[in-house]
Amino acid sequence: MKTIGVFDSGFGGLTVLRELLPLIPDTRYVYLGDTARLPYGSKSRETIVRYAVSSAHFLADQGAELLVIACNTATALALDEIREAMPIPVIGVVEPGAQAVLAAAKASRAGTGQSKVVVLATAATTQSKAYSRSLSALGLSSIEKACPLLVPLVEEGWLEQPAHKAVTLDVLRIYLLEALEQAPGANILLLGCTHYPLLTPLIETTLKNLHHSMQIIDSAAATANAVAAHLSGSPPRLVDANPECIFYATDSIEKFQRLGSAFLRQPLSEVHLVDLGG
Protein backbone atom coordinates (compact mmCIF):
# COMPACT_ATOMS: atom_id res chain seq x y z
CA MET A 1 0.00 0.00 0.00
CA LYS A 2 1.41 3.34 -1.12
CA THR A 3 1.89 6.16 1.38
CA ILE A 4 0.98 9.68 0.30
CA GLY A 5 1.91 12.63 2.49
CA VAL A 6 -0.46 15.59 2.47
CA PHE A 7 0.71 18.86 3.95
CA ASP A 8 -1.01 22.10 4.86
CA SER A 9 -0.36 24.89 7.35
CA GLY A 10 -3.65 23.94 8.98
CA PHE A 11 -7.02 22.50 8.07
CA GLY A 12 -7.61 23.74 4.50
CA GLY A 13 -5.60 20.92 2.94
CA LEU A 14 -8.25 18.51 4.17
CA THR A 15 -10.40 19.73 1.22
CA VAL A 16 -7.71 18.25 -1.05
CA LEU A 17 -7.56 15.03 0.98
CA ARG A 18 -11.35 14.77 0.68
CA GLU A 19 -10.97 14.66 -3.12
CA LEU A 20 -8.09 12.18 -2.95
CA LEU A 21 -9.87 9.57 -0.80
CA PRO A 22 -12.47 8.37 -3.37
CA LEU A 23 -10.10 8.85 -6.32
CA ILE A 24 -7.10 6.94 -4.93
CA PRO A 25 -8.58 4.75 -2.17
CA ASP A 26 -5.94 2.00 -1.83
CA THR A 27 -3.55 4.31 -0.04
CA ARG A 28 -2.19 5.17 3.37
CA TYR A 29 -2.52 8.94 3.82
CA VAL A 30 -0.39 10.82 6.33
CA TYR A 31 -1.67 14.36 6.80
CA LEU A 32 0.24 17.11 8.62
CA GLY A 33 -1.35 20.39 9.69
CA ASP A 34 1.31 22.79 10.97
CA THR A 35 -1.22 24.43 13.28
CA ALA A 36 1.32 25.72 15.84
CA ARG A 37 2.90 27.95 13.20
CA LEU A 38 -0.14 28.93 11.10
CA PRO A 39 -1.13 31.13 9.41
CA TYR A 40 1.51 31.06 6.68
CA GLY A 41 -0.37 33.55 4.48
CA SER A 42 0.68 36.64 6.41
CA LYS A 43 4.35 35.66 6.80
CA SER A 44 7.54 36.16 4.78
CA ARG A 45 8.94 33.87 2.09
CA GLU A 46 11.95 32.91 4.25
CA THR A 47 9.76 31.83 7.17
CA ILE A 48 7.29 29.97 4.94
CA VAL A 49 10.13 28.08 3.20
CA ARG A 50 11.64 27.09 6.55
CA TYR A 51 8.32 25.85 7.94
CA ALA A 52 7.29 24.04 4.74
CA VAL A 53 10.61 22.24 4.25
CA SER A 54 10.68 21.01 7.85
CA SER A 55 7.08 19.80 7.48
CA ALA A 56 7.94 17.97 4.25
CA HIS A 57 10.84 16.22 5.98
CA PHE A 58 8.49 15.10 8.74
CA LEU A 59 6.10 13.51 6.23
CA ALA A 60 8.94 11.76 4.39
CA ASP A 61 10.08 10.40 7.76
CA GLN A 62 6.56 8.96 8.19
CA GLY A 63 7.08 6.96 4.99
CA ALA A 64 5.53 9.26 2.37
CA GLU A 65 6.55 8.20 -1.14
CA LEU A 66 4.75 11.12 -2.74
CA LEU A 67 4.08 14.54 -1.26
CA VAL A 68 1.05 16.72 -1.90
CA ILE A 69 1.48 20.37 -0.85
CA ALA A 70 -2.20 21.02 -0.22
CA CYS A 71 -1.60 24.64 0.75
CA ASN A 72 -1.59 27.48 -1.76
CA THR A 73 0.79 29.67 0.23
CA ALA A 74 3.37 26.90 0.75
CA THR A 75 3.10 25.90 -2.92
CA ALA A 76 3.35 29.48 -4.18
CA LEU A 77 6.37 30.37 -2.06
CA ALA A 78 8.23 27.15 -1.33
CA LEU A 79 7.50 24.49 -3.99
CA ASP A 80 10.96 24.75 -5.61
CA GLU A 81 12.70 24.62 -2.24
CA ILE A 82 10.64 21.61 -1.10
CA ARG A 83 11.38 19.78 -4.39
CA GLU A 84 15.09 20.49 -3.99
CA ALA A 85 15.07 19.25 -0.40
CA MET A 86 13.09 16.03 -0.98
CA PRO A 87 14.07 12.86 -2.85
CA ILE A 88 10.37 12.04 -3.60
CA PRO A 89 7.88 13.53 -6.10
CA VAL A 90 6.16 16.70 -4.87
CA ILE A 91 2.86 17.99 -6.28
CA GLY A 92 1.52 21.42 -5.37
CA VAL A 93 -1.88 23.05 -5.89
CA VAL A 94 -0.97 26.04 -8.08
CA GLU A 95 -0.24 24.26 -11.38
CA PRO A 96 -3.34 21.97 -11.17
CA GLY A 97 -5.45 25.02 -10.24
CA ALA A 98 -4.16 26.91 -13.27
CA GLN A 99 -4.88 23.89 -15.49
CA ALA A 100 -8.45 23.74 -14.14
CA VAL A 101 -8.86 27.41 -15.05
CA LEU A 102 -7.54 26.69 -18.55
CA ALA A 103 -10.12 23.92 -19.02
CA ALA A 104 -12.88 26.24 -17.81
CA ALA A 105 -11.70 29.04 -20.10
CA LYS A 106 -11.62 26.70 -23.13
CA ALA A 107 -15.19 25.59 -22.37
CA SER A 108 -16.44 29.18 -21.83
CA ARG A 109 -18.04 31.46 -24.38
CA ALA A 110 -15.08 33.87 -24.00
CA GLY A 111 -12.54 31.14 -24.81
CA THR A 112 -8.95 31.37 -23.61
CA GLY A 113 -8.20 34.56 -25.54
CA GLN A 114 -10.99 36.67 -24.00
CA SER A 115 -11.19 35.03 -20.59
CA LYS A 116 -10.05 37.07 -17.63
CA VAL A 117 -9.28 35.44 -14.28
CA VAL A 118 -9.51 36.81 -10.74
CA VAL A 119 -7.45 34.86 -8.20
CA LEU A 120 -8.42 35.28 -4.52
CA ALA A 121 -5.61 34.27 -2.16
CA THR A 122 -3.58 35.13 0.95
CA ALA A 123 -1.23 38.13 1.03
CA ALA A 124 1.86 35.93 0.69
CA THR A 125 0.42 33.98 -2.26
CA THR A 126 -0.56 37.11 -4.19
CA GLN A 127 2.82 38.75 -3.49
CA SER A 128 4.57 35.69 -4.92
CA LYS A 129 2.69 36.11 -8.24
CA ALA A 130 2.82 32.31 -8.62
CA TYR A 131 -0.73 32.11 -10.01
CA SER A 132 -0.29 34.99 -12.52
CA ARG A 133 2.88 33.35 -13.80
CA SER A 134 1.25 29.90 -14.16
CA LEU A 135 -1.87 31.35 -15.81
CA SER A 136 0.16 33.61 -18.09
CA ALA A 137 2.22 30.61 -19.24
CA LEU A 138 -1.10 29.04 -20.30
CA GLY A 139 -2.05 32.17 -22.24
CA LEU A 140 -4.50 33.43 -19.63
CA SER A 141 -4.82 36.99 -18.32
CA SER A 142 -5.35 37.36 -14.56
CA ILE A 143 -5.24 39.62 -11.54
CA GLU A 144 -4.59 38.49 -7.95
CA LYS A 145 -6.46 39.87 -4.95
CA ALA A 146 -5.23 39.39 -1.35
CA CYS A 147 -8.12 38.58 1.03
CA PRO A 148 -6.49 38.31 4.49
CA LEU A 149 -9.75 38.36 6.47
CA LEU A 150 -11.32 35.33 4.77
CA VAL A 151 -9.30 32.68 6.61
CA PRO A 152 -10.18 34.06 10.08
CA LEU A 153 -13.87 34.33 9.07
CA VAL A 154 -13.91 30.70 7.86
CA GLU A 155 -12.05 29.48 10.96
CA GLU A 156 -14.57 31.32 13.14
CA GLY A 157 -17.37 29.66 11.17
CA TRP A 158 -19.04 33.01 10.38
CA LEU A 159 -20.92 31.44 7.46
CA GLU A 160 -24.48 30.68 8.54
CA GLN A 161 -25.84 32.52 11.58
CA PRO A 162 -27.50 35.63 9.98
CA ALA A 163 -25.49 38.41 11.73
CA HIS A 164 -22.21 36.54 11.17
CA LYS A 165 -23.06 35.73 7.56
CA ALA A 166 -23.86 39.41 6.93
CA VAL A 167 -20.35 40.39 8.02
CA THR A 168 -18.75 37.75 5.80
CA LEU A 169 -20.89 38.89 2.84
CA ASP A 170 -19.81 42.51 3.44
CA VAL A 171 -16.14 41.49 3.51
CA LEU A 172 -16.56 39.43 0.32
CA ARG A 173 -18.32 42.35 -1.37
CA ILE A 174 -15.40 44.67 -0.50
CA TYR A 175 -12.78 42.24 -1.83
CA LEU A 176 -14.73 41.32 -4.98
CA LEU A 177 -15.57 44.96 -5.81
CA GLU A 178 -11.88 45.88 -5.52
CA ALA A 179 -10.91 42.89 -7.69
CA LEU A 180 -13.54 43.66 -10.35
CA GLU A 181 -12.41 47.30 -10.49
CA GLN A 182 -9.03 45.99 -11.61
CA ALA A 183 -10.52 43.37 -13.95
CA PRO A 184 -13.98 44.63 -15.00
CA GLY A 185 -14.90 41.87 -17.44
CA ALA A 186 -13.50 38.93 -15.45
CA ASN A 187 -15.41 35.67 -16.05
CA ILE A 188 -13.47 33.12 -13.96
CA LEU A 189 -12.83 33.23 -10.21
CA LEU A 190 -10.07 30.97 -8.88
CA LEU A 191 -10.17 30.25 -5.15
CA GLY A 192 -6.42 30.31 -4.42
CA CYS A 193 -6.62 29.22 -0.78
CA THR A 194 -7.90 25.89 0.50
CA HIS A 195 -10.12 27.66 3.06
CA TYR A 196 -12.13 29.46 0.42
CA PRO A 197 -14.22 26.56 -1.00
CA LEU A 198 -16.19 26.71 2.28
CA LEU A 199 -17.21 30.23 1.20
CA THR A 200 -18.53 29.19 -2.24
CA PRO A 201 -22.26 29.71 -1.46
CA LEU A 202 -21.54 33.16 0.00
CA ILE A 203 -19.33 34.10 -2.95
CA GLU A 204 -22.18 33.09 -5.30
CA THR A 205 -24.60 35.30 -3.34
CA THR A 206 -22.16 38.22 -3.45
CA LEU A 207 -21.62 37.91 -7.21
CA LYS A 208 -25.39 37.76 -7.74
CA ASN A 209 -25.82 40.93 -5.66
CA LEU A 210 -23.14 42.59 -7.78
CA HIS A 211 -24.91 41.40 -10.97
CA HIS A 212 -21.67 39.82 -12.09
CA SER A 213 -21.49 36.26 -13.35
CA MET A 214 -18.28 34.24 -12.89
CA GLN A 215 -17.37 30.59 -12.95
CA ILE A 216 -15.86 29.57 -9.61
CA ILE A 217 -12.93 27.16 -9.70
CA ASP A 218 -10.99 25.63 -6.83
CA SER A 219 -7.85 23.56 -7.04
CA ALA A 220 -8.77 20.71 -4.68
CA ALA A 221 -10.30 18.37 -7.30
CA ALA A 222 -7.74 19.39 -9.94
CA THR A 223 -4.89 18.61 -7.54
CA ALA A 224 -6.35 15.18 -6.71
CA ASN A 225 -6.59 14.48 -10.47
CA ALA A 226 -2.95 15.54 -10.93
CA VAL A 227 -1.91 13.07 -8.21
CA ALA A 228 -3.94 10.29 -9.86
CA ALA A 229 -2.37 11.09 -13.25
CA HIS A 230 1.10 10.97 -11.68
CA LEU A 231 0.34 7.54 -10.21
CA SER A 232 -1.23 6.13 -13.40
CA GLY A 233 2.15 4.58 -14.30
CA SER A 234 2.13 2.70 -10.97
CA PRO A 235 0.95 -0.94 -10.60
CA PRO A 236 -2.86 -1.35 -10.93
CA ARG A 237 -4.68 -0.32 -7.81
CA LEU A 238 -7.08 -2.32 -5.67
CA VAL A 239 -10.01 0.02 -6.18
CA ASP A 240 -12.12 -1.62 -3.51
CA ALA A 241 -9.48 -1.13 -0.83
CA ASN A 242 -10.16 1.38 1.94
CA PRO A 243 -7.84 4.31 2.48
CA GLU A 244 -6.07 4.62 5.80
CA CYS A 245 -5.67 8.10 7.30
CA ILE A 246 -3.28 9.25 10.00
CA PHE A 247 -3.36 12.88 11.07
CA TYR A 248 -0.63 14.93 12.72
CA ALA A 249 -0.94 18.48 14.05
CA THR A 250 1.67 20.72 15.67
CA ASP A 251 -0.90 22.38 17.99
CA SER A 252 -4.04 21.29 19.90
CA ILE A 253 -5.38 17.90 18.78
CA GLU A 254 -8.88 18.75 20.03
CA LYS A 255 -9.11 21.88 17.89
CA PHE A 256 -7.77 19.96 14.89
CA GLN A 257 -10.44 17.29 15.27
CA ARG A 258 -13.19 19.87 15.74
CA LEU A 259 -12.29 22.26 12.89
CA GLY A 260 -10.90 19.54 10.64
CA SER A 261 -14.12 17.59 10.36
CA ALA A 262 -15.80 20.66 8.74
CA PHE A 263 -13.16 20.62 6.01
CA LEU A 264 -13.01 16.83 5.52
CA ARG A 265 -16.79 16.46 6.00
CA GLN A 266 -16.23 13.36 8.15
CA PRO A 267 -14.92 12.76 11.66
CA LEU A 268 -11.14 12.65 12.04
CA SER A 269 -9.79 9.53 13.65
CA GLU A 270 -6.37 9.26 15.23
CA VAL A 271 -4.86 12.75 15.45
CA HIS A 272 -1.34 12.89 16.89
CA LEU A 273 0.52 15.88 18.30
CA VAL A 274 3.97 16.48 16.83
CA ASP A 275 6.61 19.02 17.83
CA LEU A 276 8.53 20.39 14.84
CA GLY A 277 10.48 22.77 17.09
CA GLY A 278 9.84 26.45 17.43
Type of residue at 146: A
Could you tell me if 132 and 144 are in contact, meaning their C-beta atoms sit under 8 angstroms apart?
A: yes
Rg (CA), the chain: 18
Choose the binding region for its own copies from 17-25, 65-73, 169-177, 202-210 (rule: CB under 8 A). Answer: 169-177
Residues contacting residue 118 through CB under 8 Å, at least 6 positions apart: 142, 143, 144, 145, 176, 179, 180, 183, 186, 188, 189, 190, 214
Residue 212 in contact with its own copies, rule: CB under 8 A = no
Residue 9 in contact with its own copies, rule: CB under 8 A = no
Residue 209 in contact with its own copies, rule: CB under 8 A = no
Q: Which of 18, 83, 164, 165 is in the footprint of its own copies by CB under 8 A?
A: 164
Return the closest-CA partner of residue 23 out of 222, 161, 275. 222
Interatomic CA distance for residues 193 and 46, integer angstroms: 20
> In the stretch 248-277, what mask flags binding to its own copies with x, by CB under 8 A?
--xxx--x--------------------xx
Q: Characterize the bridge pairing of strands 271-273 and 215-218.
A: unpaired
- CA distance from start to end of the chain: 33
HSE at residue 158, side-chain half, CA atoms within 13 A, is: 16
Residue 127 in contact with its own copies, rule: CB under 8 A = no
Rounded to a whole number of angstroms, the minimum distance from the CB of residue 269 to its own copies is 20
Q: Is the link from the previous residue into 22 a cis peptide, with omega within 30 of 0?
A: no
Choose the binding region for its own copies from 94-102, 108-116, 150-158, 196-204 (rule: CB under 8 A). Answer: 150-158
Catalytic site includes residue 245:
no
Q: Characterize the bridge pairing of strands 141-146 and 188-191.
A: unpaired
Footprint on residues 214-253 left by its own copies (CB under 8 A) = 250-252
Rounded to a whole number of angstroms, the minimum distance from the CB of residue 184 to its own copies is 19
Q: Which of 63, 111, 139, 152 is in the footprint of its own copies by CB under 8 A?
A: 152
Footprint on residues 30-89 left by its own copies (CB under 8 A) = 35-37, 42-44, 46-47, 50-51
Of the listed 193, 198, 203, 220, which one is catalytic?
193
Q: Which of the residues are catalytic?
A: 71, 193
Binding residues (CB under 8 A) for its own copies: these are: 35-37, 42-44, 46-47, 50-51, 148-149, 152-153, 155-156, 158, 163-164, 166-167, 170-171, 174, 250-252, 255, 276-278
